Chain A
Amino acid sequence: AQSVSQHNHHVILSEAASLELGCNYSYGGTVNLFWYVQYPGQHLQLLLKYFSGDPLVKGIKGFEAEFIKSKFSFNLRKPSVQWSDTAEYFCAVLDTGRRALTFGSGTRLQVQP
């Protein structure tokens, strides 16, 4: 079975700091990878996705992620965070058999003004 690891459980940054959240997956074949964000009290929203092509993926709100196949990684980055980026971030991989997502445990990001 596929698995996703997010090693940073809680990250605290000051506004304007750079962000990198780690995501590692276990599956060795073709992968479809996602980052979702969940603002307090809200549902999950898609930040960005990778399914083929350029391994550097740009998403909404200035986020980007790089797919590095040799490292089984799909880390999320943002050069300068804002207070409004305070949220929980989930990395996920698509189980192509079930066509369902396998999620990591999430990273709670707290941005201090």
Chain B
Amino acid sequence: DAGITQSPRHKVTETGTPVTLRCHQTENHRYMYWYRQDPGHGLRLIHYSYGVKDTDKGEVSDGYSVSRSKTEDFLLTLESATSSQTSVYFCAISDRGEGNQPQHFGDGTRLSIL
């Protein structure tokens, strides 16, 4: 399995609190992604990064921000968590982001916002 570590694995927090999820990779891959998984929606892209300090929005980016100060770390922040952000969050990595180099996924973070 690709060297991807997500932390924390589980978190319960209250509405209005800030939350930061971390994705750490040991593969030195250029591309990193944050997806959320919700029943009936599959996985949807929140933000992605194509290099250190290079990030862009995905299809469901409202309420989320990201940072990538080092190749190996990609942080996802919920500035003020809402109940609609209760979900399972997956980080993924890819070397060149091309079709013949598929993405590899982390084990996920289950986030519950009460």
Contact = CB atoms under 8 A, between A and B. Distances in A.
A55 to B, nearest CB: 14
A46 interface: yes
B20 to A, nearest CB: 20
Contacts of B105: 36, 43-45
B42 A99 contact: no
A100 B42 contact: no
A42 B107 CA distance: 6
Contact of B40 (A32, A52, A105): A105
A94 B99 contact: yes
Contacts of B31: 99
B107 A106 contact: no
A111 interface: no
B100 A49 contact: yes
Contact of B97 (A4, A99, A102): A99
A99 B50 contact: yes
A74 interface: no
A22 to B, nearest CB: 14
Contact of B43 (A1, A49, A101): A101
Nearest to A103: B42
Contacts of B74: none
A99 B96 CA distance: 8
Nearest to B56: A98
B22 interface: no
Interface of A: 1, 4, 6, 9, 32, 34, 36, 42-46, 49, 51-52, 90, 92, 94, 96, 98-106
18 contacts: A4-B42, A6-B42, A36-B105, A43-B105, A43-B107, A43-B108, A51-B98, A51-B99, A90-B42, A90-B43, A92-B43, A94-B98, A100-B45, A100-B97, A101-B33, A101-B103, A103-B42, A105-B42
